[in-house]
């Protein structure tokens, strides 16, 4: 009970810190806490956690193949799986409430519920960082640049293909030490709070970075926050992002296979040292890339 109360407090503080997912300076200094809280509620639906994605297949009655799948307030892309079934990847945001919710097929004014989700609590790690605020506060010029780039990125994330480019599970881009896991809460100079919504891998400058799966490159350029960055659309509103690269080795419009080298690691943009920042964005929200790896293995399990 005490743990659940603490978690509620944590979720409130995470929510009140705002929904903006702005990358700040990278690299942890000190891990100060680690705990996972499991809820006692017995699951009646698909169990999931904030910041994770689940792969689900569900029955689609005859005549409902063209129906839209609505989860919370979003329409989710879904595709045929085997006769009578479709599948979809359902992502919970880092800020998702701990609750039950269901997804429904909608056809004109008719609606049938198909999956129920039970979002259980999960306490992410926390780390303390000391930063120089002169490096965090942006000049007017930088603010303008960052805002302009955000508009370009927002547009890119509306361009996902309706069907998947991939036909094998997702893979982590590197196997090196992870210096910051997804969801790590960051306490800057004992005050400023944020969340790290990607995975940082240890990588010296110049390490070849492979694509995490097959997809279409929608962006390969220099950004204020994440430096040289590659964004790949895998279809179904699933995107992978590779940041702080020293060099990009692909271009917008290219179709890449999983394992193809799309760039070299580096420390460009707002980064305090060489590493790879790997992000997975699904339905507009960053989720833990390892949950996508796990769930995509279910899709291709024979
Ligand atoms: Zn990062």
The pLDDT score that the predictor gives to residue 194 is 83
Please indicate, yes or no, whether residues 30 and 140 belong to a single structural domain of this protein: yes
Any domain includes 8: no
* Residue bearing tokens 């705990």: 35
How far is the centre of ligand 1, averaged over its atoms, from the C-alpha of 27 (Å)? 7
Please indicate, yes or no, whether residues 112 and 128 belong to a single structural domain of this protein: no
Q: Rounded to two decimals, what is the model's pTM?
A: 0.84
How far is the centre of ligand 1, averaged over its atoms, from the C-alpha of 54 (Å)? 23
Query: Is residue 220 classed as helix, strand or coil in its secondary structure?
Result: strand
Q: Count Cα neighbours of 54 within 13 Å in the Cβ-side half-sphere.
A: 18
How far is the centre of ligand 1, averaged over its atoms, from the C-alpha of 40 (Å)? 32
Please indicate, yes or no, whether residues 114 and 182 belong to a single structural domain of this protein: no
How far is the centre of ligand 1, averaged over its atoms, from the C-alpha of 201 (Å)? 8
Q: Count Cα neighbours of 74 within 13 Å in the Cβ-side half-sphere.
A: 17
Q: Which residues pair with 223 in a beta bridge?
A: 227
Domain that holds residue 70: 46-119
Please indicate, yes or no, whether residues 109 and 190 belong to a single structural domain of this protein: no
Name the domain boundary from 73, 97, 119.
119
What is the C-alpha to C-alpha distance for residues 121 and 223, in angstroms, rounded to an integer? 34
Number of domains in the chain: 2
What is the C-alpha to C-alpha distance for residues 201 and 178, in angstroms, rounded to an integer? 4
* Residue bearing tokens 């964004």: 231
Any domain includes 157: yes
How far is the centre of ligand 1, averaged over its atoms, from the C-alpha of 291 (Å)? 17
What is the C-alpha to C-alpha distance for residues 220 and 12, in angstroms, rounded to an integer? 36
The pLDDT score that the predictor gives to residue 38 is 37
Any domain includes 242: yes
- Burial of 157 by CB count in 10 Å (0-12 exposed, 13-18 middle, 19+ buried)? middle
The pLDDT score that the predictor gives to residue 250 is 98
CATH assignment at residue 249: 2.70.70.10
How far is the centre of ligand 1, averaged over its atoms, from the C-alpha of 301 (Å)? 30
The pLDDT score that the predictor gives to residue 193 is 73
Specify whether the CB–CB gap between 62 and 78 falls below 8 A: no
What is the C-alpha to C-alpha distance for residues 71 and 68, in angstroms, rounded to an integer? 10
The pLDDT score that the predictor gives to residue 130 is 77
How far is the centre of ligand 1, averaged over its atoms, from the C-alpha of 59 (Å)? 38
Identify the segments of the chain with pLDDT beneath 50.
Answer: 1-43
The pLDDT score that the predictor gives to residue 1 is 37
Please indicate, yes or no, whether residues 69 and 194 belong to a single structural domain of this protein: no
Specify whether the CB–CB gap between 131 and 189 falls below 8 A: yes
Q: Count Cα neighbours of 230 within 13 Å in the Cβ-side half-sphere.
A: 32
């Amino acid at each position: 009970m005490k743990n659940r109360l603490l978690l509620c407090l944590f979720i409130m503080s995470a929510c009140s810190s705002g929904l903006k997912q702005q990358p700040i300076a990278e690299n942890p200094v000190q891990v100060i806490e680690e705990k996972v809280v499991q809820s006692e509620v017995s699951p009646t639906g698909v169990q999931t956690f904030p910041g994770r994605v689940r792969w689900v297949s569900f029955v689609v009655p005859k005549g409902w193949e063209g129906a839209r799948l609505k989860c919370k307030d979003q329409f989710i892309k879904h595709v045929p799986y085997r006769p009578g079934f479709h599948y979809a990847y359902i992502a919970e945001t880092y800020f998702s409430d701990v609750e039950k919710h269901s997804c429904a097929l909608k056809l004109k004014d008719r609606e049938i519920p198909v999956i129920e989700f039970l979002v259980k609590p999960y306490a992410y790690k926390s780390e303390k960082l000391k930063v120089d605020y002169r490096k965090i506060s942006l000049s007017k010029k930088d603010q303008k640049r960052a805002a302009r780039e955000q508009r370009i990125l927002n547009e890119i994330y509306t361009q996902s293909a309706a069907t998947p480019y991939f036909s094998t599970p997702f893979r982590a881009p590197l196997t090196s030490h992870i210096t910051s896991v997804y969801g790590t809460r960051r306490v800057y100079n004992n005050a400023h709070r944020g969340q790290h919504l990607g995975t940082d891998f240890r990588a010296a400058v110049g390490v070849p970075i492979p694509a995490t799966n097959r997809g279409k490159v929608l962006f390969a350029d220099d950004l204020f926050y994440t430096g040289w960055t590659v964004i790949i659309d895998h279809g179904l509103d699933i995107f992978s992002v590779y940041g702080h690269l020293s060099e990009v080795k692909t271009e917008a419009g290219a179709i890449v296979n999983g394992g193809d080298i799309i760039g070299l690691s580096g420390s460009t943009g707002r980064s305090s040292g060489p590493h790879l920042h790997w992000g997975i964005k699904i339905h507009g929200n960053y989720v833990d890339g390892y949950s996508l790896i796990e769930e995509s293995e279910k899709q291709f399990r024979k």
